[in-house]
């Protein structure tokens, strides 16, 4: 039987798979063209999960952005969501998976969570994947 991969609750996303597979296969990570006329560009987005798989690190990222009606930033403990219309945040959700794994209580309007909401909103916009999330950048 092969080596066991450690279990983790580290945030990761589909965007991390390409880099992870390249590293596992010993292949270089190709570049994405900056437009249809150029062959050079920028590195493929995502972060290799190999350090987590080998147990070298517990996590390789603070959180991951997803989109389904709103931009969500999922960390190991929280899921923060912004619903944006015409560049304006019209609603926020904040769920604490440690205390409320079924997302029954939205903490975003709790004044005690204002600092955390601000920190997660900033972290989401500074995430490597935020560049392509045009609603966040308006």
Sheet holding 78-85, edge to edge: 63-67, 71-75, 78-85, 88-96
**Pair 91, 51 in one domain:** no
Domain with 24, as residue range(s), is 1-61
Which of 13, 35, 61 finishes a domain?
Answer: 61
Mean pLDDT throughout 103-128?
94
Q: What is the mean pLDDT of the chain?
A: 85
- Closest to 56 in 3D by CA, of 13, 10, 2: 10
**Pair 49, 5 in one domain:** yes
The CATH number covering residue 67 comes to 3.30.1120.10
Q: Is the pLDDT of residue 15 over 80?
A: yes
**Pair 101, 128 in one domain:** yes
Query: What are the helix (H) ranges across the chain?
Result: 17-25, 50-53, 114-126, 134-137
**Could you report the per-residue pLDDT of 17-32, keeping only the tens digit for each?**
888 999 999 998 877 6
The domain tally of the chain equals: 2
Q: Is the pLDDT of residue 38 over 70?
A: no
**Pair 70, 55 in one domain:** no
**Pair 130, 78 in one domain:** yes
């Amino acid at each position: 039987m092969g080596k066991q991969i450690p279990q983790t609750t580290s945030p990761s996303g589909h965007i991390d798979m390409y880099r992870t597979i390249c590293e596992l296969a010993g292949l270089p990570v190709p570049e994405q063209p900056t437009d249809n006329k150029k062959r050079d560009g920028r590195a493929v987005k995502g972060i290799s999960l190999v350090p987590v798989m080998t147990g070298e690190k517990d996590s390789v990222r603070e959180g991951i952005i997803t989109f389904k009606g709103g931009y969500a930033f999922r960390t190991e403990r929280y899921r923060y969501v912004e619903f944006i219309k015409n560049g304006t945040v019209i609603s926020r959700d904040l769920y604490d998976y440690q205390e409320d794994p079924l997302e029954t209580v939205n903490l975003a309007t709790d004044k005690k969570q204002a600092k955390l909401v601000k920190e997660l909103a900033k972290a989401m916009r500074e995430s490597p994947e935020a560049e392509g999330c045009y609603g966040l950048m308006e």
